[in-house]
């Protein structure tokens, strides 16, 4: 059985306890698979990218028919750091809810007479309006050339610059190192492993450092970064408290010796 996330962000915990470690965040409109019904308040779930944890039931809608309909119709995601869904297509209208970058939404129609606004449907079935430029159609897997995908992944990662570090986070409100890299790929139609390691069964494969290109991944002990070219990489740094850019070049002002000298692997989606 599947369910849909109905809150802006649903926390995924290591245990069925709000005080346990936050291991991931699931964003509005994402669907999850029900693995185990724990009790009245908690359920164990698996995300579309095969990550598992415990979520509070209040964050989910359990309705098989509606979930199937949502999976077929929700073809857009929020491409702005934050976006308000409004009751009417005007900026002064009442806010229905706020969604963060990466949230899934069902776009109903775009009025050519008013191209600024798109009509959207929420999981509840309510109709609202979002600025058209803040929506982006989901990218089907394998629909981009290698060069375009590499560039898109880099630009998506850079769109989170200065977002604060949050352990287990995956939004502009707060994001961790693997959350940043996985979202950069997910928003471009590719699911990679959520944590900072290469795992068999996922599309990232190890390559040599000398072959690294834009969009490839750098692995360190307990950390991951996305290479953006010219010896630079973007990452959400616990030590730096936010998403930032650093360099592998020891002559660069943003060189970090602790990372540049501790690379454990380089990963790539491409052969």
Active site residues: 177, 223, 235
Give ∠ CA 70-31-121 in degrees, rounded to 5.
35
Q: Is 6 exposed, middle or buried (0-12, 13-18, 19+ CB in 10 A)?
A: middle
Which strands make up the sheet holding 76-78, listed edge to edge? 95-100, 82-86, 127-131, 117-121, 104-110, 76-78, 135-137
Cβ distance 139 to 128 under 8 Å? Answer: no
184 φ/ψ angles, rounded to the nearest 5 degrees: -60, -35
Cβ distance 228 to 245 under 8 Å? Answer: yes
Instruction: Please state, in angstroms and rounded to a whole number, the distance separating the CA atoms of residues 131 and 135.
Output: 7
Give ∠ CA 241-217-48 in degrees, rounded to 5.
85
């Amino acid at each position: 059985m599947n369910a849909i996330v109905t809150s802006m962000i649903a926390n995924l915990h290591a245990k069925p306890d709000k005080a346990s470690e936050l291991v991931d965040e699931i964003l509005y409109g994402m669907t999850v698979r029900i693995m185990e019904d724990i009790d009245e308040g908690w359920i164990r779930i698996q995300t579309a990218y095969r990550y598992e944890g415990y979520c509070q039931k209040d964050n989910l809608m359990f309705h098989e028919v509606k979930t199937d309909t949502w999976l077929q119709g929700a073809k857009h995601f929020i491409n702005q750091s934050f976006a308000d869904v409004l009751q009417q297509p005007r900026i002064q209208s009442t806010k229905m809810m706020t969604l963060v970058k990466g949230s899934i939404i069902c776009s109903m129609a775009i009025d050519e007479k008013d191209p600024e606004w798109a009509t959207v449907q929420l999981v509840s079935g309510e109709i609202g309006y979002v600025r058209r430029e803040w929506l982006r159609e989901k990218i089907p897997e394998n629909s981009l050339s290698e060069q375009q995908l590499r560039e898109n992944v880099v630009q998506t990662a850079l769109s989170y610059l200065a977002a604060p570090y949050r352990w287990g986070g995956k939004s502009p409100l707060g994001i961790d190192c693997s959350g940043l890299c996985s979202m950069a790929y997910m928003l471009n139609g590719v699911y990679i492993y959520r944590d900072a390691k290469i795992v068999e069964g996922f599309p990232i494969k190890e390559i040599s450092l000398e072959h690294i290109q834009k969009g490839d991944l750098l692995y360190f002990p307990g950390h991951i970064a996305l290479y953006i070219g010219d010896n630079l990489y973007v990452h959400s740094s616990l030590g730096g408290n936010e998403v930032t850019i650093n360099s592998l070049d020891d002559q660069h002002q943003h060189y970090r010796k602790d990372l540049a000298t501790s690379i454990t692997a380089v990963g790539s989606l491409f052969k």
